[in-house]
Copies of this chain bind each other. A is one copy, B any other.
Amino acid sequence: MKATEMRSDCPISSSLDIFGDKWSLLIVRDLMLHKSRTYGDFTKSAEKIATNILANRLQLLEDNGIIIKLPYPGNKVKGLYRLSPKGVDLIPALIEIALWGGRNISNTYDGSPFLKEVKKSKTKFLKKVMDDLLEEETNIG
């Protein structure tokens, strides 16, 4: 897959060149909340991503070093997707987006354990997720 074209040298613009769409960050979200997922897991998320888009985004995210694909232990068909360090580094941005949505969009589910925990303490949530992801890394990677 061809390298992502950058429209300028602005860090915001270049970030959006990579994940500025309606799906990429949802994949990152799922990996943040579940540590690792299979292809099928992603299709089961509430937003119902089409499989062609999913395949495309997984490839793009992998190309851009945000996720890593590993073999699923004991199964040659399945793959396991995880966040790379670069992907984990996206979590602060994801948290701020979630908080903005929670504050400003009425349809959002305020009772989610995720949002609750983040609101209680951003730093603690961050630390917890990072520890989880790191633990996973030492187990599998």
A residues in contact (CB < 8 Å) with B: 6-18, 20-22, 25-26, 29, 46-48, 65, 86, 89-90, 92-105, 107-109, 112, 115
Contacts and interface: CB of A to CB of B under 8 A. Distances in A.
The quantity of this chain's copies bound in the complex is 2
Contact of A29 (B12, B47, B86): B12
Nearest to A105: B14
Highest count of chain B CB atoms <10 Å: which of A12, A29, A102: A12
Contacts of A112: 10-11
11 contacts: A7-B22, A8-B46, A9-B108, A10-B109, A11-B115, A12-B98, A13-B29, A13-B47, A15-B97, A90-B100, A93-B96
